[in-house]
Amino acid sequence: MDINSLVKKALTKDQRAFNLLFDLHWDYVYGYLVKKTANTTLSEEIALKCFSKAFDKINQFDLQANFASWLVSIAHHQWIDHLRQSQSKKAQMVESVEEVPEYSSPHLGPEDAMIANQKWEKLLACIQALTPAYRQLIQLRYMEGLSYQKIAAMQQEPLNTVKVKLFRAKKILAEKLAL
């Protein structure tokens, strides 16, 4: 089956077509990002964002264009967004560090402990509000600390499918937490 046929199927929300497009293009997009970032973990994270965005916006793809080039374009923009966000975060961290008083207690006071507890409860409530499949992925990865490979084996799904689903679960969770 050619790429345009897969894209047409993906336009109808065919999950199998999404998976095949993902598998066919993962190495290409990931390789491009590794050359850009020189960081395999960061490249994987950006590639997952790229595929998530591409599949969310697949209806905007021009069937006359090259699908791989379209993906690399999205990956490039995700990389630029990451650079901008990191620069902004670095500036915020410098400002925050400058505001820290000379002495700070390593123990939380009653108010800080209460705030931390409220944040934890909100996080748990938002996790509970996820679909059971996404909730289970979050639990396995972040609460039980299982690797992607172990989760893929448990779920009997391809590794890349688990990565994409986990990325989507984190995205939904971040929206629920209003981050």
Percent of the chain with pLDDT over 90: 21
- Statement to judge: residues 152 and 85 lie in one domain: no
State pLDDT tens for residues 38-80: 888 889 989 998 998 998 899 999 889 999 999 999 999 999 9
Write out the DSSP string of 99-115: HS-S---SSPPHHHHHH
Whether residue 74 contacts residue 54, with contact meaning beta carbons closer than 8 Å, is answered with: yes
- Statement to judge: residues 35 and 75 lie in one domain: yes
Which tokens hold the place of 39?
């960081």
Whether residue 70 contacts residue 54, with contact meaning beta carbons closer than 8 Å, is answered with: yes
- Statement to judge: residues 49 and 92 lie in one domain: yes
Predicted pLDDT at 157: 87
Whether residue 142 contacts residue 136, with contact meaning beta carbons closer than 8 Å, is answered with: no
Residue 6: alpha-carbon gap to chain centroid: 23
State pLDDT tens for residues 70-79: 999 999 999 9
Which tokens hold the place of 97?
């560090």
Last residue of a domain, one of 49, 72, 101: 101
Domain that holds residue 61: 1-101
> What's the rounded mean pLDDT across residues 15-44?
90
> What's the rounded mean pLDDT across residues 129-154?
88
R_g of the chain, CA atoms, integer Å: 20
Q: How far apart are CA 174 and CA 168, in angstroms?
A: 10
State pLDDT tens for residues 66-115: 999 999 999 999 999 888 887 766 555 555 444 544 444 456 667 776 77
- Statement to judge: residues 96 and 143 lie in one domain: no
What pTM was estimated for this model as a whole?
Answer: 0.56
Q: What are phi and psi of 147, to 5 degrees?
A: -75, 165
For the chain, the domain total comes to: 2
Last residue of a domain, one of 55, 81, 101: 101
Predicted pLDDT at 15: 85
Last residue of a domain, one of 70, 101, 132: 101
